Amino acid sequence: MSDNPTQTARRARGRPRDWHDKTAQNTIKSLDRAMQVFEYLSAAQGKALTTIADEMDQSPATVYRILVTLEGRGLVEFDPHEQLWHIGPQAFVIGARFLRRTGLVERARPIMRRLMEATGETANLGIAQDGRVMFVSQVETHASIRAFFPPGTLSEMHASGIGKALLAQMDEDRFARWMDGRTLEDFTKFTLTSPDALTADLTRTRARGFAIDGEERNLGMRCIAAPIFDSHQEAVAGISVSGPVSRVGPDDVARFSEHVKDAAAELTHAIGGSTSA
């Protein structure tokens, strides 16, 4: 036992001495296997037990025990009618707690509401997640026709206003890593599927301070987005407005973009960030 009570207390509150050792002796294999199933289901919702077992190369009995255990904690749920497993509501609760920890979503809500009121269109907040955009918050317009991206929705960066706003802030090395081996999926006739076309668009985006998704993901929808920076002057999120082209036409871009850039600057300041300018 240590003679130094301060040292003892510090060790009790912190990590064990060998916390950095990630060898098998310090991992719980059953827990790791359960998390693999959970992560798989989060990316591929609505799966039958046999499908999960086959695609993960696990026995159905093992997968079933994992699913039932996760179901008991509300992390997954079973649809008895369709005989399919889905992510459960507790997964969203835990994710929301993480987002509250970052402070970004809470600080963004009033700014997003003002952005929606100023433009009359849906305001969105997104972050980069595994090479794609994950929408983490939304304030919907009151109009009958609207864009809808529930929290947790993933979108390809090259066909997203927020995605392109974030890509435009990457340095050459990071952008090259993102592009390495990637195929730019074609969603509409307006999608930028050529690396040269995307690079040219990102250059324009960086110069004017905002990105435009002109029906590149969904026909009939236009999105205008701007990046949000942290204290290290790194783009950590993006904010946007999106709506039908009938209300967000080419002539509206200049007006909408000013509101979006102002909102991005306000949120950057709210989280203690700063731009490189």
**Domain of 129: which CATH number?**
3.30.450.40
**262 and 152 housed in the same domain:** yes
Judge if pTM exceeds 0.95: no
**Residue 276 maps to a domain:** no
Helix-helix angle 104-119:253-270, to 10 degrees:
160
Provide the residue range defining the domain that includes 52: 5-92
Q: Does pLDDT of 9 surpass 60?
A: no
Q: Max alpha carbon distance in the chain (Å)?
A: 74
**Residue 130, both tokens:** 């595994």
Q: Does pLDDT of 96 surpass 70?
A: no
pLDDT digits (tens, 9 = 90+) for 142-176: 887 767 777 888 899 999 999 999 999 999 999 99
Q: Does pLDDT of 232 surpass 90?
A: no
Q: Domain count of the chain?
A: 2
Q: Does pLDDT of 180 surpass 50?
A: yes
Domain end point (choices 59, 92, 125) = 92
Which DSSP string do the residues of the chain spell out, in sequence order? --S-HHHHHHHHHS--TTTT--SGGGS-HHHHHHHHHHHHHHHS-SB-HHHHHHHHT--HHHHHHHHHHHHHTTSEEEETTTTEEEE-HHHHHHHHHHHHHH-HHHHHHHHHHHHHHHHSSEEEEEEEETTEEEEEEEE--SSSS-----TT-EEEGGG-HHHHHHHTTS-HHHHHHHHTT------STT---SHHHHHHHHHHHHHHT-EEEESSSSTTEEEEEEEEE-TTS-EEEEEEEEEETTTS-GGGHHHHHHHHHHHHHHHHHHTT-----
Percent of the chain with pLDDT over 90: 66
**Residue 277 maps to a domain:** no
pLDDT of residue 13: 55
**Residue 275 maps to a domain:** no
Q: Round the average pLDDT of the chain to a whole number and report it.
A: 87
**77 and 123 housed in the same domain:** no
Q: How many whole angstroms from its chain centre is CA 20?
A: 28
pLDDT digits (tens, 9 = 90+) for 60-95: 999 999 999 999 999 999 999 899 999 888 887 777
